[in-house]
């Protein structure tokens, strides 16, 4: 009996975010509403890059099995917008205006290195093939710009079916 009690006391707590739509592990965070799995590090490259370099960077992450997986990709425009909306619903920043940033809500969920700048999406402009959509973490805006601009890269992947039946223990709550 005492052993069971000690194990319960030493178990990592489930974060508020985990109880309200996100499951947090050391290397990624699952958005339960969209079933997308995001890199917990919102800037794994630790720099900005052009859109073409972002595509190549994600390919390299897959070749190196980043976080043990090889199915990472750039998010589409709606996926990154939904992530920020879902985080604001959980986080302490419900609304923002002017020079406020979306980053605090994402950090509150458990993400790391969220930059207050633009993040590339996989969505190219339908009007100009030299432009792509990006999402501003500064203002929460969807914007289009030249693929030669420098933005951050935040990899995402789909949740696999087998994970639905047998979730990895690391995804059951916040880990240390």
For 11, residues 6+ apart whose C-beta sits below 8 A from its C-beta are none
173, part of any domain: no
What values do phi and psi take at 91, rounded to 5?
Answer: -75, 180
176 occurs within a structural domain? no
Q: What is the pLDDT of residue 100?
A: 57
Q: Is residue 150 part of a domain?
A: yes
Query: Using DSSP, how many helices (H) and how many strands (E) does the chain show?
Result: 6, 7
Determine which helix (DSSP H) or strand (DSSP E) holds 122, and give its type and residue range. strand 118-124
* Residue 167 belongs to some domain of the structure: no
Query: How many structural domains does the chain have?
Result: 1
Q: Is residue 164 part of a domain?
A: no
pLDDT at 169: 40
* CATH number for the domain that contains residue 98: 3.10.100
What are the pLDDT tens digits along the chain (176 aa)?
Answer: 443 333 333 334 434 444 478 999 999 999 999 999 999 999 999 999 999 999 999 999 999 999 999 999 999 999 999 999 888 877 544 444 444 578 888 888 899 999 989 999 999 999 999 999 999 998 888 999 999 999 999 999 998 754 444 444 444 344 33
Is position 6 within any domain?
A: no
- State in Å, rounded, how far the first CA of the chain is from the last one: 25
Containing domain of residue 80, as a range?
15-159
Q: Distance of CA 88 to CAs 55, 95, 118, 174, Å?
A: 28, 7, 18, 18
Residue 58 lies in a domain: yes
Q: If residue 110 lies in a helix (H) or strand (E), which one and from where to where?
A: none
Q: What pLDDT is attached to residue 122?
A: 97
Task: Please give the pLDDT value at position 9.
Answer: 36
Does residue 39 lie in a domain region?
Answer: yes
Residues in the chain: 176
Q: What is the pTM of this model?
A: 0.76
């Amino acid at each position: 009996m005492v052993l069971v009690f000690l194990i319960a006391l030493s178990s990592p707590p489930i974060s508020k975010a985990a109880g309200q739509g996100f499951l947090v592990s050391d290397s990624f965070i699952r958005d339960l509403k969209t079933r997308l799995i995001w890199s917990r590090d919102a800037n794994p490259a630790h720099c900005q890059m052009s859109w073409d370099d972002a595509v190549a960077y994600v390919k390299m992450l897959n070749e190196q099995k980043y976080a043990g997986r090889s199915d990472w990709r750039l998010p589409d425009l709606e996926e990154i917008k939904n992530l920020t909306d879902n985080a604001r619903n959980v986080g302490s920043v419900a609304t923002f205006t002017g020079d406020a940033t979306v980053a605090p809500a994402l950090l509150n969920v458990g993400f790391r290195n969220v930059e207050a700048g633009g993040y590339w999406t996989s969505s190219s402009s339908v009007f100009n093939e030299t432009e792509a959509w990006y999402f501003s973490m500064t203002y929460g805006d969807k914007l289009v710009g030249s693929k030669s601009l420098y933005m951050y890269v935040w990899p995402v992947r789909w949740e696999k079916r087998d994970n639905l039946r047998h979730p990895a223990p690391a995804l059951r709550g916040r880990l240390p």
